């Protein structure tokens, strides 16, 4: 395996993250209701995986990602929790 593979994977991730943040910005103009946006984003994750994984597995994927993200964002959010 090439040493550049992790670097390219990170670049690909950052490109996807940038696009996702652009989508969130656009969604904020469509609805000011955060719950609407949150649910729509979760539906998008289910749609991404629906042909390859059952709903319970998709929920586990989301929960796993959240466990990784919470420590990162804990210091950046009001209250630090």
Domain count, the chain: 2
44 shares its domain with 68: yes
The pLDDT tens digits for 44-54 are 999 999 999 99
Buried b (16+ CB within 10 A) or exposed e, 13-47: eeeeeeeeeeeeeebeeeeeeeeebeeeeeeeeee
pLDDT in tens, 1-22: 556 667 889 999 999 999 999 9
- Give residue 19's domain range: 1-30
Say if residue 5 is in the same domain as residue 36.
Answer: no
Residues 17 and 48 in one domain: no
Has this prediction a pTM greater than 0.75? yes
**Residue 45 near residue 55 (C-beta atoms within 8 A):** no
């Amino acid at each position: 395996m090439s040493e550049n593979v992790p670097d390219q994977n990170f670049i690909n991730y950052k490109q996807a993250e940038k696009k996702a943040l652009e989508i969130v910005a656009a969604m904020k103009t469509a609805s000011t209701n955060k719950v609407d946006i949150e649910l729509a984003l979760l539906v998008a994750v289910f749609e991404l995986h629906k042909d390859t994984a059952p709903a319970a597995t998709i929920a586990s994927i989301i929960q796993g990602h959240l466990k990784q993200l919470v420590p990162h964002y804990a210091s950046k959010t009001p209250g630090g929790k």
